[in-house]
Amino acid sequence: MHQTCPSALAAPADSVPVDQRLPFSGLLALAMTGFIAILSETLPAGLLGQIADGMHISQAMAGQWVTAYALGSLLTAIPLVTLTQGWWRRRTLLLAIVGFILFNGLTAVSQSNGLTLVARFLTGAAAGLAWGLIAGHARRMVPVARQGKAMAVAMVGAPIALSLGVPLGTWLGEWLGWRATFVLVMLASVLLAVWVLRAVPDFPGQVAGQRPGAWQVLRTPGVAVVLLVILAWVLGHNILYTYIVPLLAAAGMAADTGLVLLTFGLAALAGIALVGLWVDRHLRLLVLLSLAGFAVATLVLAQDAPSSWAVHLSVALWGLTYGGAPTLLQTACADAAGEGVDVAQSMLVTVWNSAIALGGVAGGLLLTGSGVSAFGSVVLVAIALAGMLALAGRRAGFVAGGR
């Protein structure tokens, strides 16, 4: 936490281990939970053709498998996390993992698109619960001064899933079929449950009378500011990322989409590593530098017909500055929320998924109305808004100084 911030009470004293070393096995189990959550969400995107043919539906309808999952996370994260505040933490996490097992398995065997959409919604609900738990659990596993690094490790699963998991899942689908790919995700979830039981410690939930409600957490100084920064930053990111194919096509680089996305993914992993090194000392500075770097990358990408090397360099800068964003923003949110960390993280999940959905809609409207040339100015406005909010959060949300 920040040196004089009241949220320094976020990790109860009886949950802080004496050992100063990071418990990597437990933290990586949390990271694997995030990996499976993201992989479960995005896997249909790489298998649309196979799913459409196998289920005898259109590719547009197959795409709604992603939508149903996102709605599950969006609509249930806050109520599920609020409901389970008093439960033992590892047992609650295992409940979410059981959801991955059951509903990915149901998706693998279902012959009905309606039933599959329900299964996808419930998988998203399990992910919403998991994301509401991962950050708080990681923080309770380490001393306060190492919470930023612990979260960097626990959050590494998401960008790995986005950069490497989806291409791997697509390749497995082409090799084994889409149903077998969902079975493999289910089996990986079974192994994850065993891993969590062996490596992740359990902590008690919050006792009755000490469980902050959603409105109380939202009114905590700094929480709303962080959530608004998330909304603006992730909105701008997803306008570009969702429509990266037409953006590259306008630059004459449609054939290089795979290489460009790989560049983004590798740079994002580097961004996570850098944030993990410095988040506990320079969180505010890293947020502001990341937004500035994203703005520079956007300016280059918004140029008419940028050169291929300029595109690759700007995408690398974009990935570098966005890769650590989940760690930075979840750490800031948890710092501000204090004892309401789990509820705050569920709000973060809701806002993050809302920004993803809004980015898809806004980008689609811009693409249809004005083409990709309109992306740059809109994204820059979103970045500027996020930057101003982060600057305004000097005393709460994005506090200056070391944690």
Hey, what domains does the chain have and what are their CATH numbers? 6-199 (1.20.1250.20), 214-392 (1.20.1250.20)
Residues 6+ apart with CB under 8 A from 4: none
Q: Which two tokens stand for residue 378?
A: 């809109």
What percent of the residues of the chain are helix, what percent strand, and what percent coil, each to the nearest 5?
A: 80, 0, 20
Arithmetic mean of pLDDT over the chain:
87
Can you tell me the distance from the alpha carbon of 324 to that of 153, in angstroms, rounded to the nearest whole number? 11
Can you tell me the distance from the alpha carbon of 180 to that of 190, in angstroms, rounded to the nearest whole number? 15
Q: Tell me if 150 sits within 8 A of 139, measured CB to CB.
A: yes
In this prediction, residue 10 has a pLDDT band, given cuts at 50, 70 and 90, of very low
Q: What's the pLDDT at 2?
A: 33
Q: Tell me if 54 sits within 8 A of 110, measured CB to CB.
A: no
Burial class (CB in 10 A: 0-12, 13-18, 19+), 114: exposed
Among candidates 67, 69, 65, which has minimal Cα distance to 178? Answer: 65
Give the orientation angle of helix 89-109 with respect to helix 178-199, to 10 degrees.
Answer: 170
pLDDT digit string (tens) for 125-148?
999 999 989 988 998 999 988 888
pLDDT digit string (tens) for 152-185?
889 888 778 876 776 777 788 888 999 999 999 9
Residue 136 phi, psi (nearest 5) = -65, -40
Highest mean pLDDT out of 7-11, 53-57, 102-106: 102-106
How many helices, marked H, and strands, marked E, lie in the chain?
A: 17, 0
Among candidates 337, 344, 333, 229, which has minimal Cα distance to 6? Answer: 337
Q: Which residue has the higher pLDDT, 301 or 21?
A: 301
Q: Tell me if 28 sits within 8 A of 153, measured CB to CB.
A: yes
Can you tell me the distance from the alpha carbon of 340 to that of 362, in angstroms, rounded to the nearest whole number? 32
Can you tell me the distance from the alpha carbon of 65 to that of 51, in angstroms, rounded to the nearest whole number? 10
pLDDT digit string (tens) for 78-90?
899 989 988 999 9
